[in-house]
Amino acid sequence: MDDSMAKPDKNLFEYTEDSIKSLDWKEHIRLRPGMYIGKLGDGSSPDDGIYVLVKEVIDNCIDEYTMGYGKQIEIRIDGKTVTVRDYGRGIPLGKVVDVVSKINTGAKYDSKVFQKSVGLNGVGTKAVNALSSSFKVSAFREGRSKVAEFERGNLVREHKETATTEENGTLVVFTADDTIFKNFHFIPEYLEKQVWNYCFLNAGMKVVFNGKSYISRNGLLDLLERNTNADELRYPIIHLKGEDIELAITHNNDYGEDYYSFVNGQHTTQGGTHQAAFRECYVKVIRDHFKKDYDAADIRQSIVAAISVRVVEPVFESQTKTKLGSLNVDEGGPSMRQFMLDFLAKQLDNFLHKNPVIAEALKKRIEQSERERKDLAGIKKLANERAKKANLHNKKLRDCRVHLNDEPPAKNKQEFFATQKETTIFITEGDSASGSITKARNVETQAVFSLRGKPLNCFGMSKKVVYENEELNLLQHALNIEEGLDGLRFNRIVIATDADVDGMHIRLLIMTFFLQFFPDLVKGNHIYILETPLFRIRNKQETIYSYSESERLAAIKKLGNKPEITRFKGLGEISPDEFGQFIGEEMRLQPVILEHGDHIQHLLEYYMGKNTQERQEFIINNLKVELDTVEEAVA
């Protein structure tokens, strides 16, 4: 018999009672954290696990507020320690330990208590407890308090009930376990955005974050006002409210569609049935109002909308609740689509009839999009044909194995989409740099797109240039973003250029391309800058990689005895073996974040326009700050 047909060793595949292992709740969470909080990450992405931990604790406070208890929440983040205090009813004292350490324990199983809460499975706070090196919970009710302390989910101290003068509520203090969340750090902009969203969705609620107060009086209207530039809006924001639904809608001059969607106060960053229902029903209502069969893409081009719905026992597609899967608004009620259509058909249509000036401005925006689309039709067809002939996947793109078959397999769909979230594409320039990254990358989830020379400066140009320029056309095809972000093939788009003047210029030109034509990529936190070391400092015992001049000086001081110093002038000078550690688990990514007050056209005009004197002053002032930092390091 052929050896290949031989039967496997029986002892290797024995299936007995000893094969069955039972993990307690904390062991399972720590072994499979992704099931509970999504990806781990290091804090460079807003959906990294450390932000989910913060969210899970705050969500409980929000649910108390929603039920009418407590008007203020206090949050403090000191280094890696998070403190959250609410003034709700407080956990029942006899159940303090159980609520944070026993799966399937909590009030949210009683839908009469928490009708439309954020979390329904009672797992959130337990996951925080299990994934924290230290976790302390204090409950205050009617002049009495109860405190319990844990380490990595293990109860280390349960205090006796005592009298207290504290107001009713709950206090949680935790520090994420750095053996699980390696080299993590909190990015303040992500946390502030999270806090603002809580305020926009709960008008009148006050959040004190690191000593600063946040409050919204007008809900989603405030959200759009904060996240748009009034000078660039085509008409005033339309704000509509009904039972269990709130919408804010406007149009600007940016390309693409920009949505902020929420379910029961949860920011559904991946959308879901409510967002899909809005996009479809908005088109129908606009067509009916103007009695014209506009193309859906023209109606939605440049839209900025915020959507919030509240539903009973929503079904999310994962524990992190970033995508709504529930189709029903209520048990036995209408579908989400019908619910959305009924609301828009009445409220939006009435608003447009009562506000003809806004209706006319909206109509002009749609017709402008229609003209632009028709002008592009011919050149788009030619460009798409050129992209196919260019053999993109061999000439420019070294794809990852996840995308060898872009259709999810019939089985293990959840695993496929989880892997899809981990996909990364590095955009680099030159054969040597792309060669190093290609050899060092993880071929399962990391791809490489190689530019040929400096890309075109797109500032002030129309989208026509994307199709006329081969490099830009191939890049949009590699990302699959021609028709929007629904087909985006990579969750992280990493700009990887040399750390010299030319590399910085190429980085700016790529960012200009995205901001000008695909701003949703930046707003959706998909764009990152790869940080690579400038220096390698080593002696016979140790090697240190330095990412700045101050780090170089510190490394020299540490190693002493005249260590060998290598200056990396370009990515191509770093060997693939070395490069692997810089794009692996220890990869340093700098997210491209639009801060409050940063409006895209103003940014592009400042950095890529003609105002050279203003830019020169900016460069000189920031160069002085960097030099001062280096001098401090030397001292």
More confident residue, 343 or 634: 343
Q: Tell me which of 271-280, 345-354, 358-367, 396-405 is least confident.
A: 396-405
Contacts of 309 (CB under 8 A, 6+ apart): 244, 245, 262, 263, 264, 274, 329, 336, 339
Say how far apart CA 516 and CA 455 lie, in whole Å: 14
Q: Decide if 568 contacts 498 (C-beta within 8 A).
A: no
CATH code: domain 224-372 is 3.30.230.10
Assess whether pLDDT exceeds 80 at residue 529.
yes
Say how far apart CA 18 and CA 39 lie, in whole Å: 31
State pTM to two decimals: 0.82
Mean pLDDT value of segment 283-288: 98
CATH code: domain 26-215 is 3.30.565.10
Helix axes of 273-290 and 356-389: crossing angle, nearest 10 degrees: 120
- What is residue 3's predicted lDDT score, i.e. its pLDDT? 45
Assess whether pLDDT exceeds 70 at residue 416.
no
Say how far apart CA 387 and CA 389 lie, in whole Å: 5
> How confident is the model over 194-203, as pLDDT tens digits?
999 999 999 9
First to last CA, the chain: 76
State the greatest distance between any 2 C-alpha atoms of the chain, in Å, as a whole number: 85
- What is residue 571's predicted lDDT score, i.e. its pLDDT? 86
Say how far apart CA 366 and CA 502 lie, in whole Å: 40
Assess whether pLDDT exceeds 50 at residue 121.
no
Mean pLDDT value of segment 561-584: 87
> How confident is the model over 41-98, as pLDDT tens digits?
899 989 899 999 999 999 999 989 988 899 999 999 999 999 999 999 999 999 999 9
Topology classification of domain 390-532+568-598? Rossmann fold (3.40.50)
Structure tokens at 342: 């009924």
Assess whether pLDDT exceeds 70 at residue 16.
no
